[in-house]
């Protein structure tokens, strides 16, 4: 009997990293291991990150294996070292470290998994997390593969990292957690460290063009979703060779009232718990309105 397909699918399962460490520990744990070489100090500081977790579980099941799987650490707590790429991430400022780790996740996924590309190619953009993982796994190994439960567990944890570091988007609706991928976001994150924002004039023109296009799609010039304006803004700027991440586009959206000083820019919060909005000092905004200022309208008459 030909065992080729089974063997190939089994190899795919083994290529998916086993990441048991909570996503929020990745950067703090990496920095501890980078900044300290004395084993007892390493142990003390790592355990302080999650004092409620048993030490052996935290160190030997969560932190060290996960960072090793990501290619950021090599060896044991006593003698192991952070890899060259891990050191670059650990020493970077928070925003750059986040982007560099996202870049690393994209590299791993592109080389051995393919979940990001698969999500970007789906005709339906509202696949629930559960359905997306199941369909992707079945595409890779078939419906009846004996390792399917283990594969789904690995993919679920892998997907959690992709979401946490901004590679995959996760929104909530009546279907539960919905996953999607922005090709522009992946392209920007793949560059690693953040690029510079375009000049203020270009940002202003792009904001107005993006708002006009979003309004046309919705058939209204009143409040539109921040998520839609963000994507339209990214598309407009990409057309002028400025490929920006979601976080960089959020910087521009936050500055919109100052950039568009001849317009009135207003934000409105979500009516309930949600994702995909804009974190402002006063609210978590889900909607935005841009309209000409009164003196601008009078001058146009």
| Per-residue pLDDT reduced to its tens digit, 127-145 | 899 999 999 999 999 888 8
Hey, what are 112's tokens?
């051995």
Q: How many domains does the structure of the chain reveal?
A: 3
Q: Are residues 48 and 62 in the same domain?
A: yes
Other Cβ atoms closer than 10 A to 52: 5
Report how far residue 27's alpha carbon sits from residue 111's, in angstroms, rounded to the nearest whole number.
22
Report if residue 101 sits inside a domain.
Answer: no
Q: Are residues 178 and 204 in the same domain?
A: no
| Boundary-marking domain end, from 48, 67, 94 | 94
Q: Are residues 216 and 282 in the same domain?
A: yes
Report if residue 99 sits inside a domain.
Answer: no
Report how far residue 109's alpha carbon sits from residue 181's, in angstroms, rounded to the nearest whole number.
13
Report if residue 249 sits inside a domain.
Answer: yes
Give the chain's mean pLDDT: 90
Are 265 and 238 in contact by the 8 Å Cβ rule? The answer is no
Has this prediction a pTM greater than 0.85? yes
Q: Quick one: pLDDT at residue 1?
A: 37
| Boundary-marking domain end, from 68, 94, 120 | 94
CATH number at residue 215: 1.10.10.2220
CATH number at residue 154: 1.10.10
| Boundary-marking domain end, from 189, 209, 242 | 189
Report how far residue 288's alpha carbon sits from residue 232's, in angstroms, rounded to the nearest whole number.
13
Q: Are residues 9 and 61 in the same domain?
A: yes
User: Which of 60, 68, 78 has its CA nearest to residue 30?
Assistant: 68
| Per-residue pLDDT reduced to its tens digit, 98-130 | 999 999 999 999 999 999 999 999 867 678 999
Domain that holds residue 69: 4-94
């Amino acid at each position: 009997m030909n065992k080729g397909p089974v063997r190939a699918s089994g190899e795919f399962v083994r290529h998916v990293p086993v990441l048991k460490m909570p996503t929020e520990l990745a950067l703090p744990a990496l920095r501890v291991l980078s900044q300290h070489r004395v084993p007892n100090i390493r142990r003390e500081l790592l355990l302080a990150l999650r004092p409620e977790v048993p030490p052996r579980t935290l160190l030997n099941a969560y932190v060290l294996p996960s960072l090793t799987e990501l290619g950021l650490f090599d060896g044991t707590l006593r003698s192991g070292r952070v890899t060259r790429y891990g050191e670059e991430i650990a020493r970077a400022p928070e925003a750059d470290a986040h982007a560099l780790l996202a870049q690393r996740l994209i590299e791993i996924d592109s080389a051995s998994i393919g979940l990001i590309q698969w999500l970007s190619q789906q005709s339906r953009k509202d696949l629930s997390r559960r359905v997306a993982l199941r369909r992707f796994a079945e595409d890779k190994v078939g419906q009846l593969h004996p390792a399917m439960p283990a594969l789904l567990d690995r993919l679920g944890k892998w997907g959690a990292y992709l979401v946490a570091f901004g590679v995959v988007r996760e929104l909530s609706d009546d279907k539960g957690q919905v996953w999607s991928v922005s090709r522009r976001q992946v392209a920007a994150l793949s560059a690693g460290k953040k690029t510079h924002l375009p000049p203020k004039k270009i940002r202003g023109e792009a904001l107005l063009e993006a708002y006009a296009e979003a309004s046309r799609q919705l058939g209204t010039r009143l409040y539109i979703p921040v998520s839609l304006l963000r994507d339209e803004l990214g598309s407009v700027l990409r057309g002028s060779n400025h490929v920006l991440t979601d976080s960089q586009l959020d910087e521009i959206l936050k500055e919109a009232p100052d950039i568009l000083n001849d317009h009135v820019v207003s934000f409105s919060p979500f009516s309930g718990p949600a994702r995909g909005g804009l974190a402002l000092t006063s609210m978590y905004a889900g909607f935005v309105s841009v309209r000409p200022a009164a003196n601008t309208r009078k001058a146009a008459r």
